[in-house]
Amino acid sequence: MKLNEIFTLKRILISLIVLFLIAQLFQTDKTNPESDPADDFITIYKPPTKIAHIIKTSCYDCHSYHTRYPWYSYIAPVSWIVKGHIDEGRKRVNFSTWNDYDTQRQKRKLGGCTEAVSEGEMPLPQYLWLHHDANLTGETKEKLVGWFKSTSDSIK
């Protein structure tokens, strides 16, 4: 390798490091909004303990105001991606504000949950890379889907 190429690589590396450090100045908001526990999905439907645990472990980080922010969510640009996923997840369904949905919308949301879980779309595969406890086995997926369906059917 020529000396000129080494200096060019060094400049590129230094520039990347500087950009990475500057990116750390632009942190995302990791504040979980306040919510009324009486409006929470689990409070309302009182699922069996195992189902409640599955929902909290596999769904609540992105679909509620009970997000647990892991260490990597403090490092830009990963933090921006994580925040985007959480914002999108809460927009699609928010278990913390479940009572804000009318009954027809609750049924549709539960139908969407049923479909997303049964088709393996949720939890997101990239979420499972670092959250192994959120992985749904065939048995847990079946139980969760069955419970979502029966809960949806019970909504009048």
Instruction: Give the start-to-end residue ranges of the domains of the chain.
Output: 29-154
HEC letters along the chain: CCHHHHHHHHHHHHHHHHHHHHHCCCCCCCCCCCCCHHHCHHHHHCCCHHHHHHHHHHCHHHHCCCCCCCHHHHCCCHHHHHHHHHHHHHHHCCHHHHHHCCHHHHHHHHHHHHHHHHCCCCCCHHHHCCCHHHCCCHHHHHHHHHHHHHHHHHCC
Confidence grade of residue 130 (pLDDT, cut at 50, 70, 90): confident
> Model-level pTM?
0.85
Average pLDDT over residues 48-58: 96
**What's the rounded Cα separation, in Å, for the pair 42 and 82?**
24
Q: What is the mean pLDDT of residues 117-133?
A: 91
**What is the rounded (10 degree) CA torsion for 64, 70, 76, 80?**
-10
User: Is residue 54 predicted with pLDDT exceeding 90?
Assistant: yes
Q: Is the pLDDT of residue 18 over 90?
A: yes
Identify the band that residue 6 occupies on the pLDDT scale cut at 50, 70 and 90.
confident
CB 141 within 8 A of CB 116: no
Cα four-point dihedral sign 107, 108, 113, 115: positive
- The predicted model gives 61-87 an average pLDDT of 94
- Compute the distance between CA of residue 29 and CA of residue 19 in angstroms, rounded to an integer: 21
* Residue 55, pLDDT score: 96
